[in-house]
Structure 1
Amino acid sequence: MIQLVRIDDRLLHGQVAYSWKGYLDYEAIVIASEVAVKDSLRQAAMKMAKPDGVRLAIRDIPEAIKLLQNPRIAHLKTFVVTDTVAGAVELLRQLPAGIALNIGGVQKQEFKEKVTPFTYLTTAEKIQLQQLEAAGTAIDFRLVPTDTPQKLGNLIN
């Protein structure tokens, strides 16, 4: 069972791994990233950051979708982390309805506008998120579960 999809351009690090583990009590993490799947150093760092006893899979977006659709893992409480809005949109369009999206840290880059103190998005990304929300996906912005969730509609008009 997929508990949450999260966008965080740092993917898996201590803050994400442990704060969300306490909140979601997940059993598996699926990292869905075109970049991480090709970076053995980053993969090693994520393996060290994951909590003990938690399964970790690092896949590109198409392979992550196949894995998440596999009935053999349907019983596992799964936390999905991707590093881009485009990745999250593709995942959520291919997975069962009703999965919430959390947006964490997305670093400032050229052509990105500040949405929260920790999230910067392009105009196209904002539109994609608005379309996801209009299709029924619950979306919030927060770094850790104890933060007050900020809703997309309150941040982007």
Structure 2
Amino acid sequence: MVGIIIATHGEFANGILQSGGMIFGEQENVKAVTLMPSEGPDDVKAKMQEAIASFDNQDEVLFLVDLWGGTPFNQANNLMEEHKDKWAIAAGVNLAMLIEAYSSRFSMDTAHEIASHILATAKEAVKVKPEELEPEDAAASAAQPSNSGEPGKFEYVLARIDSRLLHGQVATAWTKNTQPTRIIVVSDEVAKDDLRKKLIQQAAPSGVKAHVVPINKMIELAQDDQHFGGQRALLLFENPHDVLRAVEGGVPLETINVGSMAHSTGKVQPNKVLAFNQADIDAFKKLKEAGMQFDVRKVPNDSKGNMDDILQRAQAELNKQ
């Protein structure tokens, strides 16, 4: 696996490393290198050498630095002199670039490949609001519709239960993993809330359109075989009850990713991210009876949890109340 060094002026490297872990999960062979006010070039170089020595594969190293020509860049460049055929540097690091680099390591084996690939994502992540302030070519590109209008139904690349709906882990890690053309929040409650709808639409990653629809509308869309050919849909639900209604209504889902269910009064929490009341457990049981498979993960590279065990623990805790 390609090793990654995030090198910046000040604590920025530590902060973006932490942010990347929150969204994509903790990563191996990634180190943050900081240049603090009391330090100089030699200190940065020594930190980089120490970081590289800790990597499983020291032949493939990617430096993500903040400024082209700054001290972190210069020291990485000096170290790279003897490794130009293998190592690479990308300047202007942002969170989108880091997440894309994490994702790329699953399919790309060289630092050169990843460095070339992540630049487009890093640039696309830089936007401005109001949109009319963007250059005309960027605004025109963003306005292109994603609906191909071809005959056919949706292809469902992911259906996920997440009480936070469209947030960083979905907009980056899951979107990169599943490559949807549309993200659809399926919720009667959110569909009635104009502010939440607007925020969700604005949170969509570049090149992906976000929609909010009530459950009955999603059932109707799932039956449409005239307008959604070639469209890859990522569905987001707040709770298992909405999933059950959608499946019983004819939305053809086979697997549901269970990512996050917020705690509230009367619920038990058998693990860090999932909370249940009796109605939740009953809904999951009905989904299982309907043939649904459960994929319990926050982010794609997490180990899958055992839903049966989680539900059993939740039921035992509820029985004690």
Shared fold (TM-score greater than 0.5)? Answer: yes
Amino acid at match of 2:268: E
Please give the per-residue CA displacement for 1:41-61, whole angstroms capped at 9, x wherever unaligned. Answer: 212211121111112221111
Match of 2:165 among 8, 11, 17: 11
Q: 1:115 to 1:73 in 2, by over 3 A?
A: farther
Pick 1 or 2: higher relative contact order, CA cutoff 8 A, min separation 6.
Answer: 1
Native 8 Å contact 2:166 2:200 kept in 1: yes
Native 8 Å contact 1:130 1:152 kept in 2: no
- Number of equivalenced pairs: 156
Instruction: Give the Å deviation of 1:102.
Output: 1.0
Higher strand fraction: Structure 1 or Structure 2? 1
User: Secondary structure of the residue that 2:265 maps to in structure 1?
Assistant: coil
Native 8 Å contact 2:255 2:294 kept in 1: yes
Alignment TM-score, normalising by the size of structure 1: 0.91
Native 8 Å contact 2:161 2:238 kept in 1: yes
Match of 2:25 in 1: none
Is there any run of 5+ residues in structure 2 with no aligned partner, and where?
1-154, 313-321
**Matching of residue 82 in structure 1 with residue 204 in structure 2:** no
C-alpha RMSD of the superposition: 1.5
1:45-56 equivalences in 2 (<5 Å): 45-56=199-210
Instruction: Return the alpha-carbon distance in structure 1 between the equivalents of residues 265 and 258 of structure 2.
Output: 19
**Matching of residue 43 in structure 1 with residue 202 in structure 2:** no
User: Secondary structure of the residue that 2:270 maps to in structure 1?
Assistant: strand
Match of 2:180 in 1: 26
User: Secondary structure of the residue that 1:150 maps to in structure 2?
Assistant: coil
Match of 1:153 in 2: 308
Q: 1:150 to 1:66 in 2, by over 3 A?
A: same
Amino acid at match of 1:13: H
1:98-117 equivalences in 2 (<5 Å): 99-117=254-272
Match of 1:139 in 2: 294
Instruction: Give the Å deviation of 1:74.
Output: 4.4
Higher helix fraction: Structure 1 or Structure 2? 2
Native 8 Å contact 1:30 1:81 kept in 2: yes
Instruction: Return the alpha-carbon distance in structure 1 between the equivalents of residues 269 and 295 of structure 2.
Output: 15
Native 8 Å contact 2:254 2:291 kept in 1: no
Instruction: Return the alpha-carbon distance in structure 2 between the equivalents of residues 87 and 81 of structure 1.
Output: 10
Alignment TM-score, normalising by the size of structure 2: 0.46
Native 8 Å contact 2:263 2:275 kept in 1: yes
Is there any run of 5+ residues in structure 1 with no aligned partner, and where?
none
Amino acid at match of 2:299: V
Match of 2:251 in 1: 95
